[in-house]
């Protein structure tokens, strides 16, 4: 991570979230990752928002390992990996069991969608879950972190 973990929040996004703005706007809205970054940066009040997206599960795991080592709090939208990746669950657990914060977020409400989306393998090891509020889900997670994270100055 290029930023000081004491003043940074990692915002990690999994598969297909790089397509925000064009992917199913009726479900995910018309905002892009750049729009999300701008909104979170404005809300961050001097804290660095390090927003990343990958379609490579190994990369997401490496970023979570980085958070476990640095203490940076994490806002995580794992996309489809939420529902079946036990490797991701173990990486989230490394962060939270080590005293770090991981807020699981979803743009849509998974419980109002297809049955397979109703299960999250990472919720049980996450600090908390916010879903169904569009980009506001991320903003609510950031607000929580700014108020409660011991690593943010």
CA separation for the pair 77, 95 (Å, rounded): 15
The token pair at 150 is 């011991």
Please say if 106 is a catalytic residue. yes
Catalytic residue among 106, 111, 138, 144: 106
The token pair at 118 is 């109703």
In the beta sheet, which residues pair with residue 84?
none
Q: In the β-sheet with 8-13, what is the strand arrangement from edge to edge?
A: 48-53, 8-13, 74-77, 102-106, 128-131
Torsion of CA 108, 112, 118, 124, to 10 degrees: 60
Which positions are annotated as active-site residues?
A: 28, 106
């Amino acid at each position: 991570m290029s930023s000081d973990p004491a003043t940074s929040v990692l915002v990690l996004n999994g598969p297909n979230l790089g397509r925000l703005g064009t992917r199913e706007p009726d479900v995910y809205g018309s905002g892009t990752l750049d729009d999300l970054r701008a909104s979170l940066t404005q809300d961050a009040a001097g804290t660095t928002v390090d927003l990343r997206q990958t379609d490579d599960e190994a990369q997401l795991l490496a970023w979570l390992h980085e958070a476990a080592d640095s203490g940076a709090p994490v806002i995580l939208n794992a996309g489809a990996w939420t529902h079946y990746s036990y490797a991701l669950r173990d990486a989230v657990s490394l962060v939270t069991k080590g005293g770090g914060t991981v807020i699981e977020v979803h743009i849509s409400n998974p419980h109002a969608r297809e049955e397979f989306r109703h299960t999250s393998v990472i919720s049980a090891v996450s600090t908390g879950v916010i879903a169904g509020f569009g980009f506001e889900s991320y903003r609510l997670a950031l607000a929580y972190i700014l108020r409660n994270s011991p690593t943010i100055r």
